[in-house]
Chains A and B, each alone.
Chain A
Amino acid sequence: MKLKYIVFASLFLFVITLQAQIDRTQQPKPGPSPTISLEVPYTFQLKNGMKVLVVENHKLPKVSYSLRIDNAPIYDGDKAGISGILAAMLGNGTTTISKDAFNEEVDFLGAQMNFGSNSAFASSLTKYSERILELMADAAINPLFVEEEFQKEKEKALEGLKSNKKSVDAVASRVSNALSYGKKHPYGEFTTEETLNNITLDNVRSYYQKYFNPTNAYLVVVGDVSISEVKKTVNKYFKNWEKGLDLTTNITASTPNLPTTQINFVDMPNAVQSSIEFTNNVNLKMSDADYHAVLLANYILGGGGEGYLFLNLREDKGYTYGSYSSISPNKYVGNFSATASVRNAVTDSSVVAMLSEIKRIRTEKVTAERLRDAKAKYVGSFVLALESPETIARYALNVEINDLPADFYKNYLNKINAVTADDIMRVANKYFKADQGRIVIVGKGSEVIPNLEKTGIPIKYYDEYANPVEKPVFSKPIPNGVTVTTVIDDYFKAIGGKDKAKTVKTVSATANVTVDGVPFPLSASIKTMVPNKESMEMTAPGMGKLMAQKFNGTTGYSEQQGMRKDLTAEEIADKKAERSIFPELDFTQENSSLESVVSIDGVDHYKVKTMKGDDAVYNFYSTETGLLTQTESKEDMQGQEVTNVVTYSNYQEVNGVKLPFVTKIKVGPQNLVINSTTVKVNEDVIDADFN
């Protein structure tokens, strides 16, 4: 009996220890859900239309006031930047308080106050809360506009533009908005030096009068206040704010989405990372039935550290510090965007990875686990946000501004929980336009373009202000030990040696020539003689001589279909100054310089600069073969500057010297290809050929 008893006791003990020992191999289960109480702010309206929302919270002896004017987006056009100037000028004094006295008092109270072009915010300790409200109202209703302050703010705005000029992020955001919405849309326009310089103080004043008024205004009061006190003070300080005129704003339609996905590239040689943004516009409002499903779909794709994008680009591949997506519902036009800043070498792979994840959420049903986790995240965020009394005010304001049903937030968690996996796929297809997106990339072209081209996605090039440009020539750093002398030495080695080059006195070529837009074959006879004599004659079968260009060392002319034009003194001087055969023989460290390494058709070239009169001429030598493959110069044609690009290829040996048999000339839009059939060195050329 006794034995039995002991066994029993030890069993009992055992059980107790088991219960005390937590099992840390198992993730702890959540306790019962905490109860949520959603307060409703007290609201009232002033006669001038301003609505006031009050949330009492006495945890800290502080009060905050935030004013928001809910106007439609405003297009500033040739005065873009005016809203920024207004914002900077507001909150700096009133018609009865000087700027210095105003700022001094705000600071003295230990308070904060700042203004936007359609908003204002102030906060202070409870003991100074009435005075700070009075100051804020006075600054909003009776702002101080003086020329000196205006000039100062304009100057600062100009300087701000300058300081952001090389910022990859600033350029990326500007170009992305301009291309997505269009430069004529309020969301797509941007500020430049020119638009800032167009703005006058009168413009700012009338902008304020037109847009900064109480008709669409909301004042949110949060903190250690009593409702009766707020009613009294708000009425006292804001009742004199006069109603403005009714606003009807016409907003230009935003740019439609693209028919097929393309890359829009901006070259910034200083970039150490590429900024990538996939974007398309969406028609999505908070009041839409799809809203909750879209929130979850975006979260699953790229809402955080558990999104498809993050898990692929950061966790799996380590391409980036983070890759995320966002979707902004908007009363006017919304936007979906997926972004990553990645190192140059993986720019193309990152684009491919981002696209594949966007396609995945459109074609692959989300797992029950992921969907459950996404819902838990939204439920959690909703609960966590309740810690801040501002949340309740924000919810109430959203209901007002976005025309939501009064029970929107009461039903919020139910709506989130009701979303299905089919809903996710459906809204992903509707709002994440994988096949109609714009991939805006800002980065170092020389390092990223060759691989981006291999993705097969069409690439369009833009400058830093979203203007379309030709594909730029990208430069790379010059390796140690390479100078203009070594480049030219290598060039001579490649063609057969400098001594050999010096023995070449004349070159004579016959060639087939094709010219864009000329439907019949042309043939040419091209002759050159040291030091600078040149002759070119072009004929067409059955039509005889079409044109000729001659220079005999002292004079020359060009002749087209019988019309002869003598060379000008300036042209003669240019011709005299330059060797017609191997001008490199005259290159020295004094008259030429090695500029950079650039990639041409995937091959690195040394870019060498020489001067022809006042104009720069650039020669490009292949780093692989040493040969000259391209020259580039600017030419003035009928008052317009055109770039003249000549490329050389198909080098063949003639009498021990390599010469290009194919020469392509591109002058402005015109293309000309010279295909040599025979090339002779020191043969068949006499002085008279150049007259």
Chain B
Amino acid sequence: MKKQLFVLASLTFGVLTSTAQEVKFEEYKLDNGMHVILHKDNSAPVVTTSVMYHVGAKDENPERTGFAHFFEHLLFEGTKNIQRGDWFKIVAANGGQNNANTTDDRTYYYEVFPSNNLELGLWLESERLMHPVINQIGVDTQNEVVKEEKRLRVDNQPYGNLLAEVKERLFIKHPYKGTTIGKLEHLDAATLEEFKAFNKKYYIPNNAVLVVAGDIDIASTKKMIKDYFGPIQKGEPIVRNLPQEDPITQPLTGTAYDSNIQIPAVIAAYRTPSFKSRDAYVLDMISTYLSGGKSSVLYKKLVDEQKQALAVQAVNISQEDYGIYALFALPLGEVSLETLVAEMDEEIVKLKSDLISEKDYQKLQNIAENNFVSSNSSISGVANSLARYYMLYGNTNLINTEIDIIRSITREDIKAVANKYLNPNQRLILEYLPKKDDK
């Protein structure tokens, strides 16, 4: 009897270790429709407060691109109770850090504080949502700042316009055809009323998720959340009716120029499904197989053995509605761009006709497990994942179960997905060339 007990205890222990990294969380909705997710981890005196809004570049009026990203700047300008210019000061003066970012799908704001400033973090985020001050001074100032950001991050960067050139050609109808940063002339032309209307439409509690993660006490945190976010008015439900793309059936080609580069690049880009689909996970695996690490197929062949490429990368840039699967290479020396494409295609063809080896398959699983474990290594990372899985994937618990999807992918799946999406008549070949001074 005693012996049996011991076995049972070690069994339980075994179960505990394998789920040791499970991210526990609790989620609920406020009366105004705001979704709340709480994650308690008292191992360090640190807390993250964050809000993700379901508004991104794809929600913009095509004549007013750049609005979503512009708001990421504008909503630091101040609120009814926070003077213009005080936001960053308050955060820093209380030992915190904060930032925000925008994609085509959503906008995300967060603060990280020592845990005795949890209430401050909630106050800041509730102020931003409840009554931000949107006036001409703020718009004018941030307009200049955004222009500098574009020059810095895009126009002055080697290969900085590459993704924009790909998107513009791969998407015809869907707003993913534009860039997140948008067109500067649209921002210049926008009126204050338009900015206010955008805020009224998208910055509403029923379009947002609040995450509080870290060194918290659940009961008192819930009360504070109710106090600060409860009084915020619900908004009109948002109806999205974005145009669907027709399938690509004929090969697309294009040429783009960049004055910041000396070495040309070639991109083979395919339109792929949303990151919500299982196929997107398979495409991620194919990327790892092709270019993740020094033993990957394309790196080993083009960079290492045949010395044809300076760099080669396969990426699956997946978003809420569609994804882009892109193969990218920089030639070494006199190697032509056509040669690079042909060499890359050869490996795609193998993927489509043969199963990858058992060993390669096990490698992909090991890499995926490592990534999965590492993705939960910081509290602010966990907060971001919880918000993303809830808002864009519609399943918060993916933070724990995504690994099961990955484990369920078979070698046959990899072959089938390659056949489904990676076909020459479904893609764009873009030559991205140095711009000569006289062009």
Contacts and interface: CB of A to CB of B under 8 A. Distances in A.
Interface of A: 20, 22, 24-28, 30-36, 58-62, 92, 100, 103-104, 106-112, 124-125, 128, 152, 155-156, 159-160, 162-169, 269-273, 304-306, 311, 314-315, 318-321, 341-343, 372-373, 376-381, 383-384, 386-388
Contacts of A128: 366
Given A107-B296, A163-B262, A318-B141, A383 B45 contact: yes
Contacts of B152: 273, 321, 341
Nearest to A383: B114
A488 B371 CA distance: 67
Interface string B121-154: 0110011001000000000110111011101110
Contact of A110 (B140, B149, B370, B378): B370
A167 B260 contact: yes
Interface residues of B, number: 84
Contacts of B403: none
Interface stretch (B92-100, B168-176, B269-277, B337-345): B92-100
A306 B89 CA distance: 6
A170 to B, nearest CB: 9
A643 B144 CA distance: 43
A159 B92 contact: no
Given A34-B114, A60-B377, A373 B145 contact: no
Contacts of A25: 81
Given A163-B263, A380-B113, A107 B378 contact: no
7 contacts: A24-B130, A27-B82, A31-B115, A155-B307, A273-B152, A305-B92, A380-B96
Contacts of B46: 383-384, 386-387
Interface stretch (B1-9, B199-207, B287-295, B410-418): B287-295
A103 B295 contact: yes
B373 A125 contact: yes
B43 interface: yes
B20 A34 contact: no
B158 A166 contact: yes
A378 B153 CA distance: 29
B374 to A, nearest CB: 7
A155 B334 CA distance: 13
Contact of A100 (B43, B82, B295): B295
Given A321-B149, A321-B152, A383-B46, 20 more contacts: A22-B228, A24-B81, A27-B90, A28-B119, A59-B21, A59-B43, A62-B370, A92-B294, A152-B304, A155-B332, A159-B263, A159-B332, A163-B262, A166-B262, A272-B155, A273-B155, A343-B151, A372-B93, A377-B93, A384-B46
A34 B45 contact: yes
Interface in B367-403: 367-371, 373-374, 376-379
A33 B45 CA distance: 9
B428 interface: no
Given A92-B294, A110-B367, A381 B95 contact: yes
Nearest to B126: A24
A388 B374 CA distance: 13
Contact of A314 (B21, B145, B310): B145
B366 A108 contact: yes
B404 to A, nearest CB: 17
A27 B123 contact: yes
A108 B148 contact: no
Contacts of A167: 158, 260
Interface in B187-223: 215
A388 B370 CA distance: 18
A387 B92 contact: no
B363 A108 contact: yes
A315 B85 CA distance: 8
B88 interface: yes
Given A24-B123, A273-B151, A110 B363 contact: yes
A315 B140 CA distance: 11
Interface in B36-64: 43-46
Nearest to B44: A387
